[in-house]
């Protein structure tokens, strides 16, 4: 849908109030009832239906009367709400031309009051070319219901958070300015997508820089997952800037190695086809065991050590579980050993009742190295534990007691099965006594002595 901001000039406060009411109603409704919109908007002089009719004319809402009379927001109406909020905040004052179209977003130029040109990215998940978001992305997590506007909002929030954090850690990314709903405002990169570049003065240097970014991201605990020529910007000085971060995952993700290898393979393929770079020497260096792998060798996921930071923990990247977060927190605080001791004490308390049954096993392992005093103490403990289990004050061999316990266990099992069978038979008998026979309940009794077709059929059945 084309973004026509000229309509934005003629929308009144009541129009935006009703648009906001529809947005609030969509939290719990796929189609918001008209009565609910009127109650949420609470216009002073009424006229909610008239405002909805005006919004419907400009395609800011969609009307649906299949089940009941209601409305829902369109992407254009969601755009207007986000743009109006940004204008009220003073982030920008003008919207310019469209500079990019992706499978899940549209990018426009915007200008601030002082004339600074920035980029505005509007996420538009749910297009025909990209509808498998629920299975491919983790925006929903544990949620079962969703709509495309909500998913777009989650994608924008995630991208803004990643962009802000990567910028703080010195990565070449755009400057994140502000975010609202499904809209992200960032600095405009003065460059071109790498897919549009036909020649480079130093293709090998650019290649090494891009591969270094992938490795550096992994060292910080993140994987881009879509690191290709479409998401890499390069300027006239061959300075590289990476964009598009909603799909980033943690190195603890179950498919992290696959995503990492795919990003590396995309860069190798593109530079090999576009700039005719040969990577035979790199593969020879990997195969040769005498030569240590250096920067020219293809990086592997297993050889990367996550020592530069824990961005996946800070940003809660997908694949990073609460268990991983607890372990890293213990590692940072240096309480790993104390925690292990507390866990062992806790386990000993939990399984204290089961330790007596394994005393003989531990004694057999410790007898050759134990002293005479220790042997006497262990024998006394053995006798006391055997007395508790068998009830016999006189000590017997542990093997005989184990056989007796097994026999007793088998006898108890047979008695339990017999008692259950008796209870089942009694229950069946009680159920049969409590209910009448179905044949007597459903049979037809001929009253009055007159013959009928039903009585004849019943007599024939009884004679058979």
Of 188, 212, 233, the domain-final residue: 188
pTM: 0.63
Higher-pLDDT residue of 384, 362 = 384
**Could you tell me if 276 and 184 lie in one domain?**
no
Contact 230, 193 (CB under 8 A): yes
**Could you tell me if 115 and 215 lie in one domain?**
no
Task: From 178, 353, 203, 177, select the one nearest 270 (Cα to Cα).
Answer: 203
Domain residues for the domain of 164 are: 90-188
What integer best gives the mean pLDDT of the chain? Answer: 75
In a domain, 423, yes or no: no
Q: Which pLDDT does position 268 carry in this prediction?
A: 94
**Could you tell me if 254 and 300 lie in one domain?**
yes
**Could you tell me if 147 and 229 lie in one domain?**
no
**Could you tell me if 308 and 258 lie in one domain?**
yes
For residue 259, the domain's CATH number is: 1.10.510.10
With bands split at pLDDT 50, 70 and 90, how would you rate the model's confidence at 426?
Answer: confident
In a domain, 223, yes or no: yes
pLDDT tens by residue, 182-225? 999 999 999 999 999 999 999 999 999 999 999 999 999 899 99
Of 320, 350, 367, the domain-final residue: 320
In a domain, 348, yes or no: no
Q: Which pLDDT does position 448 carry in this prediction?
A: 47
For residue 105, the domain's CATH number is: 3.30.200.20
Q: In what order do the strands lie in the sheet with 94-101?
A: 94-101, 105-111, 117-123, 183-187, 176-180
C-alpha distances (whole Å) from 167 to each of 7, 170, 173, 243 are 36, 5, 6, 11
> How many structural domains is the chain composed of?
3
In a domain, 377, yes or no: no
Q: What are phi and psi of 419, to 5 degrees?
A: -65, -40
Residue labelled with tokens 């506007």: 149
In sequence order, which residues have a C-beta less than 8 Å from that of residue 134 and are 6 or more positions away? Answer: 140, 146
Confirm whether 404 is a catalytic residue: no
**Could you tell me if 152 and 233 lie in one domain?**
no
Of 272, 287, 320, the domain-final residue: 320
pLDDT tens by residue, 227-248? 999 999 999 999 999 999 888 8
Rounded to whole angstroms, the Cα distance separating 365 from 386 reads: 18
With bands split at pLDDT 50, 70 and 90, how would you rate the model's confidence at 22?
Answer: very high
Contact 63, 71 (CB under 8 A): yes
Catalytic residue selected from 15, 79, 106, 226: 226
Q: Which pLDDT does position 369 carry in this prediction?
A: 41
**Could you tell me if 179 and 214 lie in one domain?**
no
């Amino acid at each position: 849908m084309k973004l026509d901001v000229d309509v934005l000039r003629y929308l009144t406060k009541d129009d935006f109030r009703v648009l906001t009411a529809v947005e609030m109603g969509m939290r719990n409704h796929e189609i918001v009832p008209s009565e609910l919109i009127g109650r949420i908007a609470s216009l002073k002089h009424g006229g909610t239906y008239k405002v909805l009719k005006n919004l419907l004319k400009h395609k800011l809402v969609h009307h649906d009367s299949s089940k009941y009379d209601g409305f829902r927001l369109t992407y254009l109406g969601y755009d207007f709400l986000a743009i109006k909020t940004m204008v009220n905040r003073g982030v920008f004052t003008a919207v310019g031309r469209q500079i990019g179209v992706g499978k899940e977003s549209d990018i426009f130029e915007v200008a601030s009051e002082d004339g600074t040109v920035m980029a505005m990215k509007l996420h538009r998940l749910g297009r025909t070319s990209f509808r498998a978001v629920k299975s491919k992305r983790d925006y929903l997590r544990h949620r079962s219901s969703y709509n495309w506007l909500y998913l777009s909002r989650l994608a924008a929030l995630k991208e803004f958070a990643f962009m802000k954090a990567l910028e703080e850690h010195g990565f070449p990314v755009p400057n994140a300015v502000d975010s609202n709903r499904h809209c992200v405002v960032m600095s405009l990169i003065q460059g071109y997508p790498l897919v549009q570049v036909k020649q480079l003065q130093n293709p090998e240097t650019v290649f090494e820089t891009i591969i270094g970014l992938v490795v550096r991201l992994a060292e910080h605990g993140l994987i881009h997952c879509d690191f290709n020529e479409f998401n890499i910007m390069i300027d006239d000085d061959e300075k590289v800037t990476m964009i598009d971060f909603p799909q980033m995952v943690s190195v603890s993700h179950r498919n992290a190695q696959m995503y990492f290898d795919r990003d590396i393979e995309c860069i190798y393929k593109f530079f090999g086809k576009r700039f005719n770079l040969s990577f035979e020497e790199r593969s020879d260096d990997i195969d040769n065991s005498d030569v240590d792998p250096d920067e020219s060798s293809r990086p592997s996921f297993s050889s990367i050590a996550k020592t530069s930071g824990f961005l996946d923990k800070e940003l809660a990247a997908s694949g990073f579980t609460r268990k991983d977060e607890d372990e890293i927190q213990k590692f940072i605080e240096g309480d790993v050993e104390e925690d292990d001791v507390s866990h062992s004490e806790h386990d000993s308390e939990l399984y204290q009742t089961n330790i007596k049954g394994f005393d003989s096993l531990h004694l057999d392992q410790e007898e050759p190295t134990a002293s005479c005093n220790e042997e006497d103490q262990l024998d006394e403990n053995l006798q006391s534990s055997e007395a508790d289990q068998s009830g016999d004050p006189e000590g017997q061999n542990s093997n005989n007691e184990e056989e007796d316990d097994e026999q007793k266990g088998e006898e108890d099992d047979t008695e339990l099965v017999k008692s259950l069978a008796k209870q089942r038979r009694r229950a069946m008998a009680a159920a049969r006594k409590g209910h009448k026979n179905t044949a007597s309940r459903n049979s037809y009794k001929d009253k009055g002595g007159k013959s009928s077709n039903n009585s004849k059929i019943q007599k024939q059945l009884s004679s058979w």
